[in-house]
């Protein structure tokens, strides 16, 4: 078993599948599958990921077209927001007498 992915001989490309459920939620990543083209990816996504009324809308994106952030950037990317507690409403004390706010 080799650990690197070989340049697949004739393997269908991988697609990432996003599905919007019924209650006005946004599309959510549910998984991936292989298909020759986008049309087939949608058909396969319907069969694989909506067998039990899980969705009313499907997006498919070829996996190779996705750019992802790198885990090693975690620090510089997300740590700055940790010190900015004033961005949360609970930072501010509002007297009870003022009522709900």
Partner 1 sequence: MYAQMVKSENTDSGPEFDAFQARIDAGERIEPKDWMPDGYHKTLIRQISQHAHSEIVGQLPEGNWITRAPTLERKAILLAKVQDEAGHGLYLYCAAETLGVSRDELTEMLLDGRMKYSSIFNYPTLTWADMGAVGWLVDGAAIMNQVPLQRTSYGPYARAMIRICKEESFHQRQGYDIMMKMAQGSIAQKRMAQDALNRYWYPSLMMFGPSDKESVHSTQSMKWRIKINSNDELRQKFVDQTVPQAEYLGLTVPDEKLHFNQETGHYEFSEPDWNEFFEVLNGNGPCNTERLSARNKAWNDGEWVREGMMEHARKKAANEKVAAE
Q: What angle do CA 96, 100, 101 make, to 5 degrees?
A: 110
Residue 53: CB minimum distance to partner 1, A: 12
Q: Which stretch binds partner 1 (CB under 8 A): 19-27, 34-42, 75-83, 85-93?
A: 34-42
Q: Which of 22, 25, 28, 36 binds partner 1 (CB under 8 A)?
A: 36
Distance, CA of 20 to CA of 74 (rounded, Å)? 28
Residue 46: CB minimum distance to partner 1, A: 12
Residue 71 binds to partner 1 (criterion: CB under 8 A): yes
Residue 31 binds to partner 1 (criterion: CB under 8 A): yes
Distance, CA of 13 to CA of 90 (rounded, Å)? 47
Tell me the three state secondary structure of residue 49. helix
């Amino acid at each position: 078993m080799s650990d690197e992915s070989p340049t697949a001989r004739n393997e269908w490309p991988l697609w990432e599948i996003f599905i919007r459920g019924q209650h006005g939620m946004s599309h959510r990543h549910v998984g991936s599958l292989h298909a020759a083209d986008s049309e087939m990816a949608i058909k396969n996504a319907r069969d694989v990921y909506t067998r039990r009324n899980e969705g009313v809308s499907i997006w498919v994106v070829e996996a190779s077209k996705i750019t992802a952030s790198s885990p090693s950037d975690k620090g510089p990317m997300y740590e700055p927001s940790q010190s900015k507690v004033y961005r949360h409403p609970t930072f501010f004390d509002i007297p009870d007498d003022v009522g709900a706010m």
